[in-house]
Amino acid sequence: MRSDVARLRCGKTIPLLGMGTYCPQKDRETTISAVHQAIKIGYRHFDTAKIYGSEEALGTALGQAISYGTVQRDDLFVTSKLWSSDHHDPISALIQTLKTMGLEYLDNYLVHWPIKLKPGVNEPIPKEDEFEKDLGIEETWQGMERCLEMGLCKSIGVSNFSSKKIFDLLDFASVSPSVNQVEMHPLWRQRKLRKVCEENNIHISGYSPLGGPGNCWGSTAVIEHPVIKSIALKHNATPAQVALRWGMSKGASVIVKSFNGARMRENKRALEIKLDDQDLSLIDHLEEWKIMRGEFLVNQTTSPYKSIQQLWDNEI
């Protein structure tokens, strides 16, 4: 098997380098242009979500590239995510996503967060009265399994699930998740979760592999860390390339968001770097710090999660 892909439990391969399309400005033309550029550079794995507002732009760009003959649909790996207000009906939500994107199927459909919101809530930060009391993950997962049976997607998975939530899901799932997409980078290494997922043949896909610089909640701490910088200098690489290669060296795919052509090329060259045992050991001893903490899903009254510790099951 090629070194730039991993094989999922469903048999599909997932490219280790993915392009994220979350754009706070929801700038359609910029997104379309960036996706075309990414395809030319060699990206084949694209990540979106209903709540990102980029499904339509990504789908348009992919559709154009397919019609131009630049790529074939089979060459692409496309992920989107079930938003929390659609947990009551994943099938309808996925049918709408496919319609929005102009695709016949997704390669990967994920439960975005382990939280259920009231139908119709389409803002990323819910208000206090918009939470459902029950998580209802079992019923939601049954809907996800049905999406798979209907051929609407090739694999199903989750995002932002702790080790405990993975175990809870495996207790009742008829089809185990193929993927768990979580924050993962040299300053949040997910050692316990990686072990749990590896033992259960669940692929880890890492979002914010550079720490999310440029996002309102992100940080430059990863790419500005002196240890990461020194490893980059040693390999004649950039800190971003070191951080991305670290994630891939752990068997994870990494979802990196840049709409800048030069940065996209730089990020793709991470596939060519080889980190040695000393590099990996240095990174393993860095102080850990979770950047995307999910405070917006925690409150004392209506959320099933009364604290950050509850949301992440003390894995933070």
Instruction: Just list the catalytic residues.
Output: 52
Continuous H helices in 103-178: 137-149, 163-172
Element (H, E) at 90: helix 90-101
Q: What distances in angstroms separate CA 72 from CA 66, 136, 226, one per listed residue?
A: 5, 38, 42
Q: Are 64 and 73 in contact (CB under 8 A)?
A: no
Tell me how crowded residue 63 is: count the other CB atoms within 10 A of its CB. 14
* Residues with Cβ within 8 Å of residue 227, at least 6 apart in sequence: 282, 283, 286
112 is an annotated ligand-binding site residue: yes
Place of tokens 């819910």: 126
> Judging by beta carbons within 10 Å of its beta carbon (0-12, 13-18, 19+), is residue 89 exposed, middle or buried?
middle
Annotated binding site: 112
Annotated binding site for substrate: 112
